[in-house]
């Protein structure tokens, strides 16, 4: 599974996800992107977007993207 970690999460979380291809928003050079553009780009290259941002479903229409967004309890 291809997973993208949001800036709100520590990169060390990658170690907790063995067997998956994990990249961060920073590594992709996407730190300056607004959430809508970030999710659009992520959907083209990743299966899952992992974030600690609360309520992303109210900020973006997540149902239109072929990307699963998972919200963690915190960083």
Tokens of 21: 């291809």
Q: What DSSP string describes 4-62?
A: EE-TTS-GGGGGGSTTSEEEEHHHHT-TT--HHHHHHHHHHH-SEEEE--S-HHHHS-G
The total domain count for the chain is 1
Tens-digit pLDDT string for the chain (75 aa): 999 999 889 999 999 999 999 999 999 999 999 877 888 898 889 998 888 876 554 455 556 666 666 556 554
Whole-number CA gyration radius for the chain = 11
List the domain range (segments joined by +) for residue 17. 2-71
Residue whose structure tokens are 């970690």: 5
pTM (predicted TM-score) = 0.77
């Amino acid at each position: 599974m291809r997973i993208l970690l949001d800036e709100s999460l520590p990169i060390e979380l990658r170690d907790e996800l063995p067997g998956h291809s994990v990249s961060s928003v920073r590594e992709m050079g996407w730190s300056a992107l607004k959430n809508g553009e970030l999710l659009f780009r992520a959907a083209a290259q990743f299966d899952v977007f992992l974030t600690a941002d609360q309520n992303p479903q109210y900020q973006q229409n997540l149902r239109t993207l072929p990307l699963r967004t998972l919200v963690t309890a915190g960083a």
